[in-house]
Homo-oligomer: A and B are copies of this chain.
Amino acid sequence: MSKCEQCIVRQFSSLKALNKEELLRMAECKTSYTIKKGEPIFEEGEVTNGIYCIKDGICKLSKLSDNGKDQIVKLVKPGELLGQRSMISDEPANLSAVALEDMEVCFIPRSEVMQFFNQNNQFSMNVMRTICDDLKGADDHMVNMAQKTVRQRLAETLMYLEETFGKNEDGSLHIQLSREELAGMIGTATESCIRLLSELNKSGYIELTGKKITLLDKNKLKRLT
């Protein structure tokens, strides 16, 4: 059983407010999991009964729409927590979490987290601020979905992916999404997404090499939005 003290999740998340004793308690009750790319951490409607700490790997939070398409609501990085909203509302998950890369996560039971939550005011304020940030992000995202064209949303998403997940040595986006997943982020049909990518490619905004996407002219891309 590994310690929680030096864990990346503790450095970036609400958990940074926990003291040594609380970290020890957490280390004792946590469960570590390895999750393969493509596998779910939890699914929409599932009772999660705790939170997940993302130690390594990226995952998508998505929701199945009535039309059968999976809309990606958010991407989650190492250092973040999953399942905080469900824990506080005491409700099943509203979104599914699926690994986009091989992942390492720890599960901490609800009862334990709620203890920290009630005892440690700084911790609960941290959780609260995170949820407030998510709410602001979701409102802004909603406005973009409602008011921007697919091309604008694609350009914004590509820049977001580079800013958030960085580039490889060759300059291509580090995060690898399938065309279907990218379409699921911007809220469009897979074919439309492919067509627009290939248009941006021909116009010199981006470069497509196999699955790799490289942003060539970010100023031009920004002007699209």
* Cα separation A85 to B89 with both chains bound (whole Å): 16
On chain A, the number of residues with a Cβ less than 8 Å from chain B's Cβ atoms is 39
- Oligomeric state, in number of copies? 2
Contact call A128/B225, Cβ cutoff below 8 A:
no
User: Is the C-beta of A1 less than 8 angstroms from some C-beta in chain B?
Assistant: no
Contact call A140/B88, Cβ cutoff below 8 A:
no
Contact call A67/B134, Cβ cutoff below 8 A:
no
* Cα separation A176 to B128 with both chains bound (whole Å): 35
* Cα separation A63 to B144 with both chains bound (whole Å): 10
* Residue with the highest number of chain B CB atoms closer than 10 Å, among A136, A139, A148, A186: A139
* Cα separation A138 to B125 with both chains bound (whole Å): 21
Q: Which residues of B contact A136 (CB under 8 A)?
A: 85, 89, 91, 94
Which residues from chain A sit less than 8 Å from chain B, CB to CB?
63, 65-67, 69, 71, 73, 85, 88-89, 91, 94-95, 118, 121, 124-125, 128-129, 131-136, 138-148, 186-187, 225
Identify 8 residue pairs between A and B in the complex whose beta-carbon atoms are under 8 Å apart, listed by A's number.
A65-B143, A65-B146, A67-B148, A73-B142, A88-B132, A91-B136, A124-B128, A131-B132
